[in-house]
Amino acid sequence: MMFPEYRPRRLRRTKEVRDIIRETTVTVNDLIYPLFICEGEKIKEEISSMPGIFRFSIDLALEEVRSAMDLGLKAFLLFGIPGRKDETGSSAFAKDGIIQRAVRAIKEKFPSALVITDVCLCEYTSHGHCGIIKHNEIDNDLTLEQLARIAVSHAKAGADWVAPSDMMDGRVGRIRDALDDAGFSHVAIMSYAVKYCSAFYGPFRTAVDSAPRFGDRKTYQMDPGNAREALREALLDVEEGADVIMVKPALPYLDIIRLLRENINHPIAGYQVSGEYSMIKLGAKAGLFEEDRAIWESLISIKRAGADVIITYFAKRVAELIERGVWGELY
């Protein structure tokens, strides 16, 4: 059937028609809200590279969680900014570490919150790399033991999910074994299964002071030119026990999200990273486009590509727009 018998514009004629046939939507149930937690009290410090995003001390992080949950958000991904760093990132698994205390405080006050913790060393090491350095190289297997200790310490504090973001070989299996052995078989793993070595992480590294002090992360994060490798990485993590598979960043790698969706039945998360966030904020500030519509379109694209879950710094803004009843009016 062709024109003039078939006219596709009939299904775009009014807003009501467009709404009823829309194939893809984004709701608060799809979103995870990342939070940066720092030492101290009464601290809410805006991150210069991420306008509108803040570092919170634990007391004010609780207020932010309450505000977000009042808007319908349920899930939070926590990143820690420790008071001290060393060569091995030992504060990452300390019982009184910044994330451990934050998890306990959030779960005590908001038991229904889904608390997810980043499991990595880059925020905690003095050199800024995601693993243990031996002979000027990242020692993969030594790093696995450290990551397992971090994951168990987060589970003991009350984390619902742990999210290893280091890209070391074998870390999902090692973490799964450690969690099970410690009695935390109920704690899920959201694996940064496909994490590319990306320029779009720049603002995040400013936020947590995690830029490598030497070299780069190309020996453990993925080459942006590789797609088949992404599928191999994701399948390995599924075999090792990952419960949710993540692609990071999201927007430059929508094809990878689609590739995984077509080949893997596990839930897939897309991380709209700091650089993606800041591009939209700065572009809107420059008057290049309307911010809320750009947020809507970017998140729809991630969901349409096949992501079940979207990690985004815009989560609270989206929840506000939904509560006001204008989210669906943006297109």
Please list the active-site residues: 195, 248
SS3 at position 134: strand
Two tokens, residue 88: 């091995």
Give me the helix-helix angle, 315-323 and 291-305, nearest 10°. Answer: 110
How far is it, in rounded angstroms, from Cα 203 to Cα 201?
A: 6
How are the residues of the chain apportioned to helix, strand and coil, as percentages rounded to the nearest 5? 45, 20, 35
**Residue 240, number of CB atoms within 10 A of its CB:** 19
Burial of 159 (0-12, 13-18, 19+ CB in 10 A): buried
Is the separation of the CB atoms in 35 and 77 below 8 Å? yes
**Residue 308, number of CB atoms within 10 A of its CB:** 15
**Residue 215, number of CB atoms within 10 A of its CB:** 14
How far is it, in rounded angstroms, from Cα 319 to Cα 1?
A: 41
Strands 137-139 and 132-134, sheet pairing:
antiparallel
What residue type is 27 in one-letter code? T
Burial of 96 (0-12, 13-18, 19+ CB in 10 A): exposed
> Which among 243, 250, 247 has a CA at the least distance from the CA of 272?
250
Output the CA angle 61-204-326, nearest 5 degrees.
65
